[in-house]
């Protein structure tokens, strides 16, 4: 398997009808180019017996989230390239809905046999059909940027993490939570988000990627670093790269400092971001 590169991004679109407002959402898939689901039912029942649990470092990851993932040609692509520069090969697939909460995603459908991940684009844009069976050993999940701390949505966050983590373990897949970052103008969100993601991870046996702590740490190391797009929410390229470094540090248990993939960023900035990612993962381990 070769490291993936991200592809498209999706935007929610609203349609008005006589009965009111209906939401039509674009599902965005990215994998080593793009992977398109095959046919089959929209969902599949959980297996009757649990499958053997995935072990060792991730080799094939499904990312389930929103635009925080797909900005800058998709986070999973940067993770693949960063890991490759460290001698690790990992396949990545993203399923994202713009502005979505985690409970908007139908995880059983995403994991149905013969669906997502059935084939990949490799080499000179050639299609490779992957072996049948479980396509992913890890699923990385992120809720909307405010949902875990919103008084009306926090319950749905914890309920959905519990439901999804149970389903994933039944299928032998490792559940992983991606801790999102504070808005640029609302730094107090950092600790609130960290507390909820950490609690959900501990309650459901899910590892946590502390991207939010990494953002705060990078800004502490260099207050001038530009981690955000102009809207103060979405990541700049540096922000996405920092999230990729944090993912590598958390899931492979190694410092990203010195890795060769830089996303074209300035070497001094890369060093700061790599250091912040490793510091954040060590801090998360102490929570």
What letter does residue 254 receive in the DSSP assignment?
S
| Predicted confidence (pLDDT) at residue 10 exceeds the cutoff of 50 | no
How many domains are contained in the chain? Answer: 1
User: What's the rounded Cα separation, in Å, for the pair 188 and 192?
Assistant: 7
Q: Per the domain annotation, does 6 fall within a domain?
A: no
**Average pLDDT of the chain?**
86
Q: Per the domain annotation, does 187 fall within a domain?
A: yes
Strands (E), the chain: 13-17, 20-24, 28-30, 60-65, 91-96, 119-122, 126-129, 138-141, 174-178, 207-209
pLDDT band for 196, please (50, 70, 90 cuts): very high
Q: Per the domain annotation, does 5 fall within a domain?
A: no
Min mean pLDDT across 43-57, 166-180, 191-205, 253-267 is at 43-57
The pLDDT, as a whole number, for residue 51 is: 63
What letter does residue 183 receive in the DSSP assignment?
P
Q: Per the domain annotation, does 8 fall within a domain?
A: no
pTM: 0.81
Percent of the chain beyond pLDDT 90?
73
Q: Per the domain annotation, does 47 fall within a domain?
A: no
| Mean pLDDT, range 248-269, rounded to an integer | 98
242, 79 contact by CB (below 8 A):
no
Residues 6+ apart with CB under 8 A from 164: 102, 107, 139, 141, 175
| Mean pLDDT, range 167-183, rounded to an integer | 97
Side-chain-facing half-sphere of 19: CA atoms under 13 Å? 2
pLDDT band for 174, please (50, 70, 90 cuts): very high
What's the CATH number where 196 sits? 3.40.50.1110
The pLDDT, as a whole number, for residue 56 is: 79
| Mean pLDDT, range 185-191, rounded to an integer | 97
Give the β-pairing of 138-141 and 126-129.
unpaired
Q: Per the domain annotation, does 129 fall within a domain?
A: yes
| Mean pLDDT, range 102-130, rounded to an integer | 90
Residues 6+ apart with CB under 8 A from 140: 61, 62, 63, 64, 65, 176, 177, 178, 209, 247
| Predicted confidence (pLDDT) at residue 200 exceeds the cutoff of 80 | yes
Q: Per the domain annotation, does 1 fall within a domain?
A: no
| Predicted confidence (pLDDT) at residue 250 exceeds the cutoff of 90 | yes
Q: Give residue 28's domain range.
A: 13-37+56-285
pLDDT in tens, 37-79: 333 344 444 444 456 677 778 999 999 999 999 999 999 999 9
User: What's the rounded Cα separation, in Å, for the pair 173 and 112?
Assistant: 13
Q: Per the domain annotation, does 259 fall within a domain?
A: yes
Closest CA to 5 of 50, 35, 40: 35
């Amino acid at each position: 398997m070769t490291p993936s590169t991200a592809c498209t991004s999706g935007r929610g679109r609203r349609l008005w009808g006589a009965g009111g407002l209906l939401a039509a959402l674009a599902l965005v898939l990215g994998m080593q180019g793009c992977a398109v689901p095959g046919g089959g039912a929209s969902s599949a029942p959980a297996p009757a017996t649990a499958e053997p649990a995935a072990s060792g470092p991730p080799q094939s990851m499904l990312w389930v989230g929103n635009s925080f993932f797909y900005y800058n040609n998709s986070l999973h692509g940067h993770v693949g390239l960063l890991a490759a520069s460290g001698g690790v090969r990992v396949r990545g697939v993203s399923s994202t809905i713009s502005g979505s909460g985690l409970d908007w995603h139908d995880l059983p459908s995403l994991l149905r046999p013969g669906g997502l991940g059935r084939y990949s684009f490799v080499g000179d844009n050639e299609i490779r059909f992957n072996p049948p069976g479980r396509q992913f050993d890890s699923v990385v999940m992120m809720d909307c940027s405010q949902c875990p701390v919103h008084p009306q949505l926090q319950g749905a966050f914890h309920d959905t993490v519990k439901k999804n983590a149970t389903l994933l373990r039944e299928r032998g897949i490792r559940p992983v939570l991606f801790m999102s970052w504070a808005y640029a103008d609302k730094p107090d969100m950092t600790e609130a988000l960290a507390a909820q993601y950490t609690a959900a991870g501990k309650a459901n046996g899910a590892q946590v990627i502390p991207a939010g702590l990494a953002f705060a740490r990078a800004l502490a190391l260099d207050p001038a670093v530009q981690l955000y797009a102009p809207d103060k929410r979405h990541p700049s390229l540096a922000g996405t790269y920092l999230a990729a470094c944090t993912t590598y540090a958390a899931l492979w248990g190694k410092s990203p400092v010195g890795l060769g993939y830089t996303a074209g960023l300035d070497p001094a900035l890369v060093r700061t971001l790599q250091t912040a990612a490793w510091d954040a993962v060590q801090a998360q381990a102490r929570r």
